[in-house]
Amino acid sequence: MHALAQHEGASAGSVANVSEVMQAIAEHKGCGTSGGSGKASCGSAAGQGDLPTEIWEKVKNHPCYSEEAHHHYARMHVAVAPACNIQCNYCNRKYDCANESRPGVVSEKLTPEQAAKKVLAVASTIPQMTVLGIAGPGDPLANPEKTFKTFELISKTAPDIKLCLSTNGLTLPDHVDTIAGFNVDHVTITINMVDPEIGAKIYPWVFWKHKRYTGVEAAKLLTDRQLLGLEMLTERGILCKVNSVMIPGINDKHLVEVNKAVKSRGAFLHNIMPLISAPEHGTVFGLTGQRGPTAQELKALQDSCEGEMNMMRHCRQCRADAVGLLGEDRSAEFTTDKIMAMEVNYDLDSRKAYQAMVEEERVAKVAAKQEELTTLAGEQSDIKLLVAVATKGSGLINEHFGHAKEFQVYELSTAGAKFVGHRRVDLYCQGGYGDEDSLETVIRAINDCHAVFVAKIGGCPKGDLQKAGIDPVDQYAHEFIEKSAIAWFKAYLDKVNSGEIEHVERGDAEIRQGALITAA
Amino acid sequence: MALKIIASQCTSCSACEPECPNVAIREKNGTFIIDPKKCTECIGHFDAPQCTAVCPVDDTCVIDTSYPRYQAPA
Ligand code: SF4
Ligand code: SF4
C-alpha cells in the first residue's frame, strides 16, 4: 500500500499537487462513487464463473461490472445529457434520481468540451479511473449529439478509457451503429418490465417520433424498443447489462420474467436495485407511499435470479456526476471552474504503470483467499451467515467503524466468502465522536449480519453492537477481507460444533431511504 | 397565439429545444423561453405542440393567452 502512495506521487502530473494525490490514495476506495442511499444490492461473482472468456476479458477490470475490480478501479460519469424522453414514476427530474445513475437536472450541466476536459483532469489525478460513463441527467440517447461528441473528444485524447452508456432504451435501436462505431463496449439498459400492463404502472408516458404516448401503449412501445435494442447490441458483440428497479407489489415477482427475457437476448449481467422512495423526493411513488423492498426481499429476488445468470450485487446506484472510488464522492474537487483553470497533462504511461501495480495487488489478494479456503475443506455445515466489512478498498479491512459510509456484506458458508452487497450508512462518527442516533441506523442497516469487521472501533459502539447481537471484530485489521472472513467463519463453526456458542438466525435489515447525496 | 414556458417550473432539461420545428425555443437566464414571434403552436407540423408533449413537468409549456391565435399563412 505504501508503494502505491509513492508511485502515485510520481504520477501527479500538473493536475494536482502531491498532497492532494496522497489524499487520493488515502481515500482510495475501489469502485463506484457516492450514492447516498442505503443499499443492499448487486454483485457479479468475483471470478470469471460461468462467463465466456471474451466477456470476462472485457469486464474483469470494470468497476461497475466486476465485484472484484470495484475494489481497485474507479469510473466516473459526466452529466452532459439533460433531456429525457420518458417519464418514470420513481423519478422527479428536478432532483438527483436515487434509483438510477442519474443526477437531477439542477446538478451542474457540462458541455461536451467541458466534460472531456473533466475526464482528462480526473484521469490524470486518479490513475484508477478507467471507465467513463454517460447516464444523464436525462437519457443519453435523447441527447445523441452531446453524448457522442463527448465520446469523440475523449476517445481522441484518452484511448485507454473505456466508454459506457446507460439508457432507457427507447431510441436505442436508432443509435446502435454509432455506439458500435465509438467502440462503446458496455451499455446499460434499464428494463423494469416486459409486460406493458405492468409497465403502465411504472411509466406514465413516453415521447417518441413527435408524439406523447400514454398507458399500456406507451409501455408496449418502450418494451419493444428496449428488447430490440438489446438484441441489436448483443448481435454486434457489445456488452449489455440490464438494470431493474425492484418495486414491491408492482414488478417484484415479474422481474424473474424480465431476467429470463434479457438473458435469452444476450444480456451478460442483470442488476436488480431496490426502489428508493420517500415523500420528500417528490416522485409519484414517493407521494403515493410506494415502499421499497427490505434487504431480505431484495436478496431473495437476486438469489432466485442467480441460477439464471450473473447477478450484480455491488452496484451503488451512484450519482451520475459523481467522481471517486467506492462510495466516495470527490466531485467538489472537479467543479467546472476548477477544471477549466487546470492544465491537464494526460500521461498514458504513468497510468499504465500504476494499473500494473494494482494488478499485482489483486493477484496477492486472490492467492490469500485461495489459501485460506483450503482450511475450510472437509468442514460440514449448513450454516450460512452474513458479515459486514468496513473497507476503503484494495480488498482490505482498513476502515474505522466510525468512519465507514458503507459496509460491504459477505455471505459466509463452507463454500467460502461471497460478496452479496453493500449497505450505505450515515457516518457514525463525525469529527471523532459518535452520535447515538446514527449508531442505531448503522445497526439497523447491518442487522442481518452476525459480525462486523473493522480496522478499529471504540469501546462504546462495541458494547452496543454486542448487545444487538452483532460481533465487532477488529483482530483482522488491515488484512485481506475474504481471507479474514473465512478464518473467522472457521473459528465460528468450531465454536458452534464444540457447543461453546449456539448459531441463531438474524433478522432483516433496512435499506437506507435518505436523500441521495449527503455532504461529501 | 403562441406557447410560453412557465419559468418557475422549468427544470432547464432542454428537451423541448430540439423538438421545436420553428427553432423558437432557447435558453435564457438558466431556463428556456419561447419566442412568440416564431412559435406556430406546431400548426402545420405536428398534431400537438411538441414542447408540451416532451416537457417532463406538467403545465409548464402552456398557451400564452396574451397573443392572438396563430393563423397559418393563407
Ligand atoms: S408549440 Fe411548437 S412551435 Fe411553439 S414553441 Fe412549442 S414546439 Fe415550438
Ligand atoms: S422541456 Fe420543459 S422543463 Fe425542459 S427545458 Fe423545456 S420547458 Fe423547461
Tens digits of residue pLDDT in A309-337: 555 544 444 444 455 554 556 666 777 77
Q: Do A207 and B53 touch (CB under 8 A)?
A: yes
Q: What is the pLDDT of residues A231-266, one digit of tens each?
A: 999 999 888 989 899 999 999 999 999 999 998 998
Residues A270, A376 share a domain: no
Q: Do B19 and A138 touch (CB under 8 A)?
A: no
In a domain, A400, yes or no: yes
Residues A67, A39 share a domain: no
DSSP assignment of A321-342 equals: T--SSTT---GGGG-HHHHHH-
Chain B residues with CB under 8 Å of A138 CB are 13, 15
- The grid cell for A252 is 417484484
Residues A76, A48 share a domain: no
d(CA A377, CA A10): 44
- The grid cell for A334 is 472537479
Per-residue pLDDT at A14 exceeds 70: no
- Decide which of A307, A338, A369 is a domain's last residue: A338
Name, of A60-69, A346-355, A404-413, the range with top average pLDDT: A404-413
* Residue B18 C-alpha, separation from nearest chain A C-alpha, in angstroms: 9
In this prediction the pTM is 0.71
In a domain, A449, yes or no: yes
Residues A393, A319 share a domain: no
* pLDDT in single tens digits along all 74 residues of chain B: 799 999 988 988 899 999 999 999 999 888 899 999 999 999 989 989 999 999 999 999 999 888 777 666 65
CA atoms within 13 A on the CB side of A177: 1
Structural domain for A109, as ranges? 61-338
Q: What is the mean pLDDT of residues A447-476?
A: 90
User: What pLDDT was estimated at residue A85?
Assistant: 93
Confidence of residue A513 (pLDDT cuts 50, 70, 90): low
Per-residue pLDDT at A129 exceeds 90: no
Residues A84, A68 share a domain: yes
What are the residues facing A506 on neighbouring strands?
Answer: none
- Assign 3-class secondary structure to A167-197: ECCCCHHHHHHHHHHCCCCEEEEECCCCCHH
- Decide which of A303, A338, A373 is a domain's last residue: A338
- Nearest Cα neighbor of A267 from A302, A240, A227 is A240
Secondary structure letter of residue A293 according to DSSP: P
Residues A84, A24 share a domain: no
Chain A residues with CB under 8 Å of B46 CB are 210-211
User: What pLDDT was estimated at residue A476?
Assistant: 92
In a domain, A353, yes or no: no
Residues 6+ apart with CB under 8 A from A229: A167, A169, A172, A173, A176, A189
B56 CA from centroid of ligand 2 (Å): 7
Residues A471, A326 share a domain: no
* Residue A107 C-alpha, separation from nearest chain B C-alpha, in angstroms: 10
User: What pLDDT was estimated at residue A10?
Assistant: 34
Overall domain count for chain A? 3
Distances (CA, A) of A499 to A287, A298, A386, A492: 51, 33, 21, 11
Residues A121, A50 share a domain: no
- The grid cell for A18 is 502531491
Q: What is the mean pLDDT of residues A75-103?
A: 73
Residues A65, A10 share a domain: no
Q: Which ligand is nearest to the CA of B6?
A: 2
Confidence of residue A93 (pLDDT cuts 50, 70, 90): low
CB-CB neighbours of A381 under 10 Å? 14
Confidence of residue A121 (pLDDT cuts 50, 70, 90): confident
d(CA A508, CA A464): 18
Please report the atom of ligand 1 found closest to the CA of residue B61.
Answer: 6
Which residue of chain A is at minimal alpha-carbon distance from B50? A210
Residues A89, A16 share a domain: no
Per-residue pLDDT at A455 exceeds 80: yes
How does the average pLDDT of chain A come out, rounded?
A: 76
- Residue A453 · residue A484 · CB < 8 Å: yes
Q: Which long-range contacts (CB under 8 A, 24 or more apart) does A231-238 make?
A: A231/A265, A231/A266, A232/A172, A232/A173, A232/A176, A233/A172, A233/A176, A233/A179, A233/A187, A233/A266, A234/A265, A234/A266, A234/A267, A235/A266, A236/A176, A236/A180, A238/A176, A238/A179, A238/A180, A238/A184, A238/A185, A238/A186, A238/A187
* Residue B66 C-alpha, separation from nearest chain A C-alpha, in angstroms: 27
**CATH number of the domain encompassing residue A217:** 3.20.20.70
User: What pLDDT was estimated at residue A25?
Assistant: 30
Per-residue pLDDT at A179 exceeds 90: yes
User: What pLDDT was estimated at residue A58?
Assistant: 63
**CATH number of the domain encompassing residue A434:** 3.30.420.130
Residues 6+ apart with CB under 8 A from A418: A45, A46, A410, A411, A412
- Residue with more model confidence, A325 or A141: A141
In a domain, A349, yes or no: no
- Decide which of A60, A81, A108 is a domain's last residue: A60
Please report the atom of ligand 2 found closest to the CA of residue B51.
Answer: 1
- Nearest Cα neighbor of A98 from A336, A326, A292, A310 is A292
d(CA A496, CA A457): 25
d(CA A129, CA A18): 18
Which residue of chain B is at minimal alpha-carbon distance from A207? B54
d(CA A101, CA A291): 20
Fold observed for domain B2-64? Alpha-Beta Plaits (3.30.70)
Q: What is the mean pLDDT of residues A396-409?
A: 85
Confidence of residue A307 (pLDDT cuts 50, 70, 90): low
Please report the atom of ligand 2 found closest to the CA of residue B15.
Answer: 1
**Low-confidence winner among A61-65, A221-225, A393-397 (lowest mean pLDDT):** A61-65
Per-residue pLDDT at A17 exceeds 50: no
- Residue with more model confidence, A203 or A332: A203
Distances (CA, A) of A423 to A15, A289, A337, A387: 33, 23, 33, 11
- Residue with more model confidence, A138 or A147: A147
In a domain, A374, yes or no: yes
| A7, amino acid identity | H
Which residue ranges make up each domain of chain B?
2-64
User: What pLDDT was estimated at residue A70?
Assistant: 59
In a domain, A215, yes or no: yes
Residues A116, A265 share a domain: yes
Confidence of residue A518 (pLDDT cuts 50, 70, 90): very low
Per-residue pLDDT at A83 exceeds 80: yes
Residues 6+ apart with CB under 8 A from A268: A51, A55, A59, A239, A240, A241, A309, A310
Residues A286, A254 share a domain: yes
